[in-house]
């Protein structure tokens, strides 16, 4: 008994994006299906399915809707048609904790952690440089990792719900970190630096074999153009851009799921 529940509990404990579909009425009331996506990739990856609502066609239709709900990151109640009748379902989505990974414990990172936390993000600051990465400066961060970005990132799960920024002002540190992040399906990648710095960085990335498609994912110059210069203003511009990316993704996926219903 409770085998499916154990799988659900495991997915949630691992903080994976997953959806539990439940039949709320009809002869199959209480029927359950779990859809999970352990390693979400852009363009959609195969979804692992466990359990069943009791019918193949119904399961298939439910999984399609579960994918949309997972993309949108929202629990939804839906009515779907299968076997020539309507089914009342709850698609219960578990969204992983959103996380902001900041490479570079620089001054901008201090207000950025404050803003990110206010917006519900778990914050991780990485910097091996002792003068920057002090507990004093980053007592408000959820995690302060005092090691080289490349080493620290190896240990981390970087998924769609991870937002990633490099702020070190040192290309020797930023570039390898960017290469690592671009190799993962992170929801946002931003790199501090002027247009000129970024042009140089692009050349280095190309040489390292990073594709133009991947390079295009980098938001640089970082942040919305608020015209500000102080660290606080730049941090706000970065956070505003992350919020914009996050909301657009949700909207796009909700639109897509409405399209599918017509």
Tell me which residues touch other proteins (CB under 8 A): 1-5, 8-9, 12-13, 22, 24-25, 29-30, 32, 51, 75-77, 90, 92-94
Nearest-approach distance from CB 194 to other proteins, in angstroms: 42
What pairing do the DSSP bridges indicate for beta strands 85-94 and 17-23? antiparallel
Spatial distance between the Cα atoms of 226 and 84, rounded to a whole number of angstroms = 54
Spatial distance between the Cα atoms of 46 and 121, rounded to a whole number of angstroms = 27
Q: Which is nearer to other proteins, 16 or 160 (CB)?
A: 16
User: Do residues 16 and 39 make contact, with C-beta atoms less than 8 angstroms apart?
Assistant: no
Separation in Å, CA 33 to CA 18, 83, 123, 127, 163? 11, 17, 33, 43, 30
Q: Which is nearer to other proteins, 20 or 234 (CB)?
A: 20
Q: Which is nearer to other proteins, 24 or 240 (CB)?
A: 24
Nearest-approach distance from CB 20 to other proteins, in angstroms: 9
Spatial distance between the Cα atoms of 72 and 82, rounded to a whole number of angstroms = 23
Q: Which is nearer to other proteins, 4 or 243 (CB)?
A: 4
Element (H, E) at 261: helix 231-261
Q: H helices then E strands: how many in the chain?
A: 8, 11
Nearest-approach distance from CB 3 to other proteins, in angstroms: 8
Q: Which is nearer to other proteins, 7 or 214 (CB)?
A: 7
Nearest-approach distance from CB 47 to other proteins, in angstroms: 19
Nearest-approach distance from CB 159 to other proteins, in angstroms: 16
Separation in Å, CA 68 to CA 40, 184, 212? 13, 21, 28
């Amino acid at each position: 008994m409770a085998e499916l529940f154990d799988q659900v509990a495991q997915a949630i404990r691992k903080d994976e994006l997953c959806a539990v579909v439940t039949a709320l009425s009809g002869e199959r009331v209480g029927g359950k299906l779990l859809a999970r996506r352990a390693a979400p990739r852009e363009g959609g990856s195969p979804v692992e399915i466990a359990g069943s609502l009791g019918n193949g066609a119904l399961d298939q239709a439910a999984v399609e809707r579960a994918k949309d709900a997972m993309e949108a990151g929202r629990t939804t109640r839906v009515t779907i048609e299968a076997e020539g009748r309507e089914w009342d379902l709850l698609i219960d989505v578990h969204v992983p904790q959103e996380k902001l990974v900041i490479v570079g414990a620089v001054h901008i990172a201090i207000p950025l952690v404050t803003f990110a936390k206010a917006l519900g993000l778990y914050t991780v600051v990485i910097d091996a440089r002792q003068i920057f990465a002090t507990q004093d400066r980053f007592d408000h961060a959820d995690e302060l990792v005092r090691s080289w970005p490349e080493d620290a990132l190896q240990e981390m799960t970087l998924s769609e719900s991870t937002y990633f920024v490099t702020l070190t002002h040192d290309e020797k540190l930023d570039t390898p970190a960017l290469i690592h992040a671009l190799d993962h399906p992170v929801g946002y990648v931003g790199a501090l630096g002027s247009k000129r710095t970024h042009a140089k960085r692009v050349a280095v990335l190309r040489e390292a074999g990073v594709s133009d498609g991947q390079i295009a994912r980098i938001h640089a110059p970082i942040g919305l153009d608020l015209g500000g210069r102080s660290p606080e203003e730049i941090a706000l511009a970065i956070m505003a851009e992350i919020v914009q990316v996050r909301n657009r993704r949700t909207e796009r996926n909700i639109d897509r799921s409405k399209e599918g219903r017509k």
